[in-house]
Structure 1
Amino acid sequence: MKNIVKLVAIVFLFQSFQCEEDRGDRNKKGQFEKLQNEKQEILDYIASVPCDETSGCNFIAFGSKPCGGPWEYLVYSNAIDINLLTNLVNNYNSDEAQYNELYNIYSDCTVVDPPENIECIDGICSIIQ
């Protein structure tokens, strides 16, 4: 009888560790999906404000590489509400930095240079190579 009780206790112990891992995976996945939703919200907002020759275009550093610096630069029309865009991007960058630290995310450490030439082409701000 004592052996059965010990066996049952060991099984429950192993299951409790498994649940913690599953919960951690779900949290990681949920936070990743939240980041993807935030990113899409920002991209949709940028796309909703067309540029023209008078408004011009600009860029903003986007994302947070684990080694530091942005993943990319987003280009946008100067007709956009820059304060709102800056707040959205800063929140995203902060959330991604926290995610990277919490889940020990790693990446290459290459530096992404800001765009040198941006133009408004058919109402869309574009990086010219």
Structure 2
Amino acid sequence: MKFTIKIILLAFVLQSMQCEEDNINYNNITQEQLNIKKQEILNYISTFSCADASSCNSIAFGAKPCGGPREYLVYPNTVNQTTLETLVNEYHEMDSAFNTQTGAVSDCMVVGPPNTVGCDNGVCTILD
């Protein structure tokens, strides 16, 4: 009996130690959750600065209902690329799930990467 109780308690402890991101319910995404996740990504990017245009990159962001990204984010190459890609991939999964559950439609226009990015006062920006 004591062994069974210990196993049950251990299961509860392990369950409570899961990462918050692992608890995202992709079956019930809200616009507010998307907004919060996007702001988290923008806040992460804003903690880094650029020195010149050559230190800026872009990454596809979001998921249009017809496929392809909604937009591109620009960021300095001083960010941790793995962290940024993880955050952007989480957003993409959330956005795709939201599109499916809401039956979203879009113009299906292809959004290409920016032609020219620059560095303005330490912030990467799209110039075209």
- TM-score class, shorter-chain normalisation, is 0.7 to 0.9
Question: Bigger radius of gyration, 1 or 2?
Answer: 1
2:70 aligns with: 71
Structure 1 moving runs of 4+ over 4 Å: none
For structure 2, which runs of at least 5 residues remain unmatched after alignment?
A: 1-26
**Residue 117 of structure 2 is aligned to residue 118 of structure 1:** yes
Normalised TM-score (structure 1): 0.73
SS of residue in 2 equivalent to 1:125? strand
Distance 2:53 2:63 in 1: 32
Deviations 1:60-114 (A, max 9, x none): 0001000001110000000001100000000100111011111211111111111
Whichever residue aligns with residue 74 of structure 1, its letter is L
**Residue 98 of structure 2 is aligned to residue 91 of structure 1:** no
Normalised TM-score (structure 2): 0.74
Contact 1:59 1:74 in 2 (8 A): yes
RMSD over aligned CA atoms reads 1.8
Whichever residue aligns with residue 117 of structure 2, its letter is I
1:53 Cα deviation (Å)? 3.1
Contact 1:55 1:79 in 2 (8 A): no
**Matched residue pairs, number?**
102
Change (3 A) 1:53 1:109: same
SS of residue in 2 equivalent to 1:93? helix
For structure 1, which runs of at least 5 residues remain unmatched after alignment?
A: 1-26
Structure with more of its chain in helix, by fraction: 1
Correspondence 1:1-129 to 2 at 5 A: 31-53=30-52, 56-129=55-128
